[in-house]
Structures are given as structure tokens and as C-alpha cells.
Amino acid sequence: MLLWFETDSNIVNGNGAEVNSRFQSTASWFDGFGRAIATANYGTNGGTALVRPATVPARSDNVLVSETRYDAATGRAFRTIDPAGKDHRTFVDALGRTVRTVANFTGTGTVSAANPDQNVTVEMTYHPSGQIATLTAKNPETQQFEVQPDGSLIVQFEVVPSHELTNWILKLGCHAEVLEPTSLREEVKKEIARMLRRYDSAISQS
């Protein structure tokens, strides 16, 4: 398919001035099933009419090519390659629901602290009803964020238990709760109990 866009040179803007026209050329390619497999944006194509090539052209600064790949077994689109050549992939479960997306997929798709801009991963789980239960963004520094159905977050990261850590958690007040490890949760509870006894004692002495 070859698309040709034209802007009427007589169109005027809000100030009554004419808007300059500009041509842009875009070509698309399809597989035997009629599915789009590539699109190339040629911009103005140097001011010349575009003759659509029979095959998908190579990417360049002047020809912006996007590609779509399909799973041979299911026919679903699972991979897109953007004009910069970055590979983005979508993984689904047996019901066809998206369970993981990986932007800038490289190698085996493993998240790495050495290359935080690669294999940017988001994982999803589902309720029996089919609604999304959790949405987890994988962080290369072992931090994970899960968005809960009520909009709250569960954050997981590696720490070294310390008095400073306990104090930092207490600063969050009722807006946060330690779920695990149990030892840290109990330490926070003990500190809260000591604070409560302190305040009860002050009231009784007044």
C-alpha cells in the first residue's frame, strides 16, 4: 500500500495566514494473510514521488521502518521492531492475556543492572475474574513495584536491617506497612508499641 498525504495550500490558520503545504510518503507491506508486517515513513522523500519498493527497505535516518512479527502457532503479533532497531516483545498465557512485556529486548530478555535501558520488563497476573491482579515493573537494582487493584503499591527491594531503616519506615506513618521479613515487621511493631507507651505515660502524668 502506498499512501499520499496532501495539505491544501489554501488552508489558513487562526490569524488568516496561509498554512504551507507539505507532502509525506508512507509505504506498507503485508504478508500472505493480509497482516501488516512493515511500514516505512519516507518523510518528503527528497521532494520526489515515491515508487514503492517490492521489499521492505533497510532502516536509515531518512527511511523510518517499523516491523511487526507474528507467532507462527497462534498468529498473534508478539514482536515489534521500531525505527531505531529496538526489539519490543509481548508474551501471553494460554488464554491470550498479556503476562509480560519487554521493551528493548536483548539476549535472553533478562533484566540487568549493567544495562538498565535494555529488557525493560513489566509483568501481569490476573484474578480468576480475568481482571489484572498485579502489575510488576522489574527494576535492575532488585526493586520491584506491584500495582494493586485498589491503586496501592507493593515495593520489594533488598536492604540491610538497621535502626536507621526502622526509623525511615516509621516516618511513613500509616501510609506504609512492612509485609516481610517478619523480623523487620516485628521490630517496627515493637517501636510503635514503645512510642504508644511513651505517649500513654505522658498523659497519665499530666
Round to whole Å and give the CA distance between 135 and 138: 10
pLDDT digits (tens, 9 = 90+) for 22-63: 678 999 999 999 999 999 999 988 888 899 999 999 999 999
Q: Which residue has the cell 496532501?
A: 6
pLDDT digits (tens, 9 = 90+) for 131-163: 877 777 776 665 666 777 777 778 777 667 777
Q: Are 122 and 101 in contact (CB under 8 A)?
A: yes
Report CA dihedral (19, 20, 21, 26) to the nearest 10 degrees.
-100
Report CA dihedral (115, 123, 182, 177) to the nearest 10 degrees.
100
Instruction: Look at phi and psi of residue 152 and say left if phi exceeds 0, alpha if psi is from -120 to 50, else beta.
Output: beta
Round to whole Å and give the CA distance between 79 and 91: 9
Q: Phi and psi of 159, rounded to 5°?
A: -140, 165
Q: How confident is the model at residue 97 (pLDDT cuts 50, 70, 90)?
A: very high
Decide: residue 64, CB within 10 A, 0-12 exposed, 13-18 middle, 19+ buried: middle
Structural domain boundaries in the chain:
1-82, 86-158, 160-206
Write a three-state SS string for 111-138. Answer: CCCCCCCCCEEEEEEECCCCCEEEEEEE
Burial readout 181-198 (b: 16 or more C-beta within 10 A, e: otherwise): eeebeebbeeeeeeeeee
